[in-house]
């Protein structure tokens, strides 16, 4: 199966551990069969009162086999699990590497809880492919063949009975287990995704749920989802247990067959009675070793399904895997040019941006204003290559964005998006997100410039910046961006939560920092835009006005009207 290719590749990388696990498993299996066969033979021999040295040799052999079995089983478990954990970490990183270039688009298409279920649950399911599907049959077949050859020395018919039993346990029992398993596992996955989704919704929206009095209802939904998952898991586990019980039943049936056949051969003189217990014990043990065969197809199917879901999730990643190698230079300020750029979100009926043509010279300072939903943030996402224009061309430093390596664009840009993420740690941790090293003095200086004097570098930051006010979050994001060395500043409403005075102070520091760089500032408030080289007004995805502050005021168009309304509101306030 194509989806499992990635897993096979990862398994090849762990071939040394896998080979040791197989050798360990084989020795453990053979030692197990020999141990119990020798015990059966020992018990039979004692009846005939053999010389003492025979008993000593047999007893020692049993002990040695017991030790050998334990040691080799330990080695098998150790190396197979080590290989599994390495495999899982390889799979996780390769899945993440494919997933990351797809953001933010992928979050729009998938519910985050479901994505989490895939990342955690489905990747985890793949471990079964190795632990329960790929390598156990190799051991089972080797141990079984060795046992059949050994048994055939005593009786070819008993050896044939072993083969018959093996065929039943390898094909008939798993076939029965497989019936209905696909449906059951599908339901488990569905319920797991539902539970993760409910959980994510509750975690993200717990404040609103509390305020709107919906918490109890959500908790109930969560409990229902959890109970539904537990019920499906129980049903699936019961079904697997049924397979294992069937396997044990067949194993005992074959052992009874060995006993009866052996008794018949002893009566007609073709088998020495002393070997009967040994053959029965060999039969019981070899089928015990073959127990994983009962659930193998079920796990195989489960792993294939998980691999398919993961492959579907990152389907587009393969298409966009090869990134161009041309890098955006950080040696000089970046020029930005948009020629007839349009963009429409998937499943949206109207474009977010329509035929935008703009030329932003290197080192210039441009403000982008316009009503909510006019496409300002979308424009920034296109410049960052987070989305690809539906039509038109974007050039940075005269190179088409299509030909530029996206990581180099991010490297060359100082970006503050509307919602910055903050990690659990300290203010210092949240400032030091790039590879550069900074002294405490430098870090404190940016906090000062961002008007975050009330925070020290060691102050804690909770997950998602829960303990920071919206204004503090914005100022921390701005402090973070001031530490970067990019030559293109893309700031999406970076000061919307600040009071007027603080906003002006921060903006003035920002403009000083970006003095030699190109800066694009999206803002709703129209105050302080006099210092900008150009103001671009967007409405319904189109550029409706563009010019300097004075030009737009003289033009008495949309910007002028908005400015008048803003002044009036400030006066009234």
Q: Which residues bind ligand ATP (CB under 6 A)?
A: 108, 345, 348, 352, 370, 372-378
Q: In this structure, how many other beta carbons lie within 10 angstroms of the beta carbon of residue 308?
A: 15
Nearest-CA neighbor of 113 among 50, 173, 193, 224?
A: 193
> Which C-beta is closer to ligand ATP: that of 368 or that of 427?
368
- In the complex, the smallest distance separating the C-beta of residue 388 from ligand ATP, rounded to whole angstroms, is 14
Q: Judge contact between 105 and 184, C-beta under 8 A.
A: no
Q: Judge contact between 366 and 534, C-beta under 8 A.
A: yes
Asked if the peptide bond before residue 104 counts as cis, ω within 30 degrees of 0, the response is yes
CA distance 70 to 62: 12
> Which C-beta is closer to ligand ATP: that of 109 or that of 453?
109
> Which C-beta is closer to ligand ATP: that of 348 or that of 398?
348
Residues in the chain: 573
> Which C-beta is closer to ligand ATP: that of 29 or that of 370?
370
Q: What is the CA radius of gyration of the chain?
A: 35
> Which C-beta is closer to ligand ATP: that of 347 or that of 572?
347
Strands 353-360 and 488-492: unpaired
CA distance 328 to 118: 35
- In the complex, the smallest distance separating the C-beta of residue 494 from ligand ATP, rounded to whole angstroms, is 12
> Which C-beta is closer to ligand ATP: that of 369 or that of 478?
369
- In the complex, the smallest distance separating the C-beta of residue 550 from ligand ATP, rounded to whole angstroms, is 25
> Which C-beta is closer to ligand ATP: that of 348 or that of 435?
348
> Which C-beta is closer to ligand ATP: that of 31 or that of 538?
538
- In the complex, the smallest distance separating the C-beta of residue 546 from ligand ATP, rounded to whole angstroms, is 16
Sheet of 399-400, strands arranged across: 353-360, 336-343, 391-396, 399-400
- In the complex, the smallest distance separating the C-beta of residue 378 from ligand ATP, rounded to whole angstroms, is 3
Region of 536 (left: φ > 0; alpha: ψ -120 to 50; beta: rest) is beta
- In the complex, the smallest distance separating the C-beta of residue 315 from ligand ATP, rounded to whole angstroms, is 19
- In the complex, the smallest distance separating the C-beta of residue 562 from ligand ATP, rounded to whole angstroms, is 13
- In the complex, the smallest distance separating the C-beta of residue 402 from ligand ATP, rounded to whole angstroms, is 21
Cα within 13 Å of Cα(207), Cβ side: 2
Q: Which residues pair with 521 in a beta bridge?
A: 367, 491
- The two three-digit tokens of residue 121, written as one number: 């649950």
Q: Which residues pair with 396 in a beta bridge?
A: 336, 399
Beta-sheet strands, E only, within 263-390:
336-343, 353-360, 365-369
- In the complex, the smallest distance separating the C-beta of residue 4 from ligand ATP, rounded to whole angstroms, is 33
CA distance 508 to 502: 10
> Which C-beta is closer to ligand ATP: that of 109 or that of 424?
109
> Which C-beta is closer to ligand ATP: that of 276 or that of 415?
415
Sheet of 534-539, strands arranged across: 413-416, 488-492, 518-522, 365-369, 534-539, 542-547
> Which C-beta is closer to ligand ATP: that of 140 or that of 538?
538
- In the complex, the smallest distance separating the C-beta of residue 377 from ligand ATP, rounded to whole angstroms, is 3
- In the complex, the smallest distance separating the C-beta of residue 421 from ligand ATP, rounded to whole angstroms, is 17
CA distance 151 to 158: 7
Q: Judge contact between 373 and 412, C-beta under 8 A.
A: no
Max Cα-Cα span within the chain: 119
């Amino acid at each position: 199966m194509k989806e499992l290719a990635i897993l096979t590749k990862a398994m090849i990388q762990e071939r040394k551990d896998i080979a040791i696990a197989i050798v360990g498993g084989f020795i453990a299996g053979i030692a197990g069969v020999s141990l119990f066969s020798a015990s059966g033979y020992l018990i039979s021999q004692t009846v005939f009162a053999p010389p003492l040295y025979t008993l000593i040799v047999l007893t020692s052999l049993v002990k040695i086999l017991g030790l050998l079995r334990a040691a080799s089983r330990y080695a098998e478990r150790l190396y197979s699990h080590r290989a599994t954990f390495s495999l899982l970490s390889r799979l996780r990183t390769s899945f993440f590497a494919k997933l990351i270039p797809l953001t933010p688009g992928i979050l729009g298409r998938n519910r985050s809880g479901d994505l989490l279920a895939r990342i955690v649950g489905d990747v985890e399911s793949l471990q079964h492919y190795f632990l329960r599907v790929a390598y156990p049959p190799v051991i089972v077949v080797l141990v079984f063949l060795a046992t059949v050859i050994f048994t055939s020395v005593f009786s070819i018919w008993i050896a044939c009975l072993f083969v018959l039993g093996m065929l039943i346990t390898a094909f008939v029992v798993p076939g029965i287990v497989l019936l209905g398993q696909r449906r059951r596992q599908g339901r488990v996955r569905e319920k797991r995704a539902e539970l993760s989704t409910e959980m994510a919704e509750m975690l993200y929206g717990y404040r609103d749920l509390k305020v709107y009095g919906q918490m109890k209802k959500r908790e109930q939904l969560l409990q229902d989802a959890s109970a539904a998952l537990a019920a499906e898991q129980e049903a699936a586990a019961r079904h697997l247990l049924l397979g294992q019980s069937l396997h044990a039943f067949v194993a005992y049936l074959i052992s009874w067959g060995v006993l009866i056949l052996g008794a018949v051969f002893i009566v007609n003189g073709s088998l020495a009675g002393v070997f009967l217990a040994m053959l029965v014990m060999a039969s019981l043990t070899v089928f015990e070793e073959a127990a994983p065969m009962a659930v193998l197809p079920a796990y195989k199917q489960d792993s294939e399904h998980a691999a398919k879901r993961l492959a579907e999730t990152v389907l587009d990643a393969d298409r966009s895997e090869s990134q161009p190698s041309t890098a955006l230079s950080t040696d000089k300020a970046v020029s930005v040019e948009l020629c007839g750029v349009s963009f429409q979100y998937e499943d949206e009926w109207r474009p977010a941006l329509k035929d935008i043509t703009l030329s932003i010279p290197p080192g210039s300072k441009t403000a982008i204003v316009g009503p909510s939903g006019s496409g300002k943030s979308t424009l920034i996402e296109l410049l960052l290559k987070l989305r690809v224009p539906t039509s038109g061309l974007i050039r940075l430093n005269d190179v088409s964005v299509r030909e530029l390596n996206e990581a180099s664009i991010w490297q060359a840009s100082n970006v503050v998006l509307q919602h910055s993420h903050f990690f659990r740690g300290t203010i210092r941790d949240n400032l030091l997100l790039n590879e550069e090293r900074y002294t405490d003095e430098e870090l404190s200086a940016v906090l000062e410039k961002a008007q975050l004097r009330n925070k020290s570098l060691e102050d804690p930051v909770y997950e998602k910046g829960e303990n920071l006010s919206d204004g503090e979050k914005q100022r921390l994001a701005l402090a973070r961006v001031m530490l970067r060395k990019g030559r293109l500043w893309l700031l999406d409403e970076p000061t919307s939560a600040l009071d007027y005075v603080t906003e002006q102070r921060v903006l003035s520091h920002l403009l000083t920092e970006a003095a030699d760089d190109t800066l694009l500032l999206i803002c709703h408030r129209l105050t302080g835009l006099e210092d900008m080289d150009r103001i671009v007004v967007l409405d319904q995805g189109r550029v409706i006005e563009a010019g300097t502050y004075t030009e737009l005021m003289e033009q008495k168009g949309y910007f002028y009207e908005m400015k008048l309304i803003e002044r009036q509101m400030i006066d009234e306030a």
